[in-house]
Amino acid sequence: MVIKNLAHGIGALALALVPLLPTPATPAAQAAPVAEVTTLADAVGLLKVTEENRAGYTASSFRHWNAGEDPTDGCDTRAEVLLAEAVVAPTVGSGCKLTGGRWTSYLDGQEVTDAGSLEVAHMVALGEAWDSGASAWTAGRREAYANDQGADVSLVAVTSRTNRKKADKDPADWMPPSPEVQCRYTGEWVSTKLRWQLTADDRELEALKVYAEGPCEDTIVRYAPAA
């Protein structure tokens, strides 16, 4: 399992999604789309704006966590994300029980050494995704969204306390308290929405523009449409 490097340099923020390359057995036409690279301001401008509607939403509409990227490793998506994001790799025991290890919950800057005190948050929460277009998806596509490890920014390990504060709010109603990570968060939010062709409402769009045209004008967004 590849461990993510959560250290980000000063300056332009790169949100990387590396596309899978075609193999000899896979026609190039079936390869994953090449990632788009653009400024945060231009990425925000690509968002379609519509009103949101939460009618009919339940968390059970999005099946998670499933068997993950490797159905043979005995770990579900949540555990695989924790393994991928560990700064110091934990020991994997029977039933994929994780012991030891260390993580950085970047949304609040907390160092964590107990996997049980972390939650794997959807960058764009399930309720917000439902409001923004997922209500019209098939059950299979909602499951793919809820377990998306194809983009590093889709799922993030955070402390339970911060995840509860974030809940299903969009950037108009919640941002990480530390200014140092707000540009990264804004870019990852927009990247996720573009990847899944989710919409934004008016308040959300205006909040994103404040960051994109101000303190985060140097942020670079990379995304590729989900299969």
SS3 letters for 170-190?
Answer: CCCCCCCCCHHHHHHHHHHHH
Q: Which of 190, 12, 1, 176 is nearest to 85 (CA)?
A: 1
Three-state DSSP at 68 gives coil
- Alpha carbon distance 205, 97 (integer Å): 41
Predicted local confidence at residue 12, as pLDDT = 38
Instruction: Please report, for residues 1, 14, 25, the alpha-carbon distance to residue 11 in angstroms, rounded to integers and kept in the order given.
Output: 29, 9, 40
Q: Are 163 and 119 in contact (CB under 8 A)?
A: yes
Q: Which of 179, 178, 150 is nearest to 162 (CA)?
A: 178
Query: In sequence order, what DSSP letters do the residues of 149-165 get, joined into one string?
Result: -SSTTSEEEEEHHHHHH
Predicted local confidence at residue 176, as pLDDT = 96
Predicted local confidence at residue 19, as pLDDT = 38
Q: List the pLDDT tens digit at each of the 227 positions of the chain.
A: 444 443 343 333 444 333 333 444 444 445 667 889 999 999 999 999 999 999 999 999 999 999 999 999 999 999 999 999 999 999 999 999 999 999 999 999 999 999 999 999 999 999 999 999 999 999 999 999 999 999 999 999 999 999 999 999 999 999 999 999 999 999 999 999 999 999 999 999 999 999 999 999 999 999 999 98
- Alpha carbon distance 64, 145 (integer Å): 9
Three-state DSSP at 124 gives coil
Q: Which amino acid is at 51?
A: E
Predicted local confidence at residue 35, as pLDDT = 87
Residue linked to tokens 């404040």: 210
Residue linked to tokens 């400024």: 39
Predicted local confidence at residue 31, as pLDDT = 60
- Alpha carbon distance 170, 128 (integer Å): 7
Predicted local confidence at residue 30, as pLDDT = 52
Burial of 120 (0-12, 13-18, 19+ CB in 10 A): buried
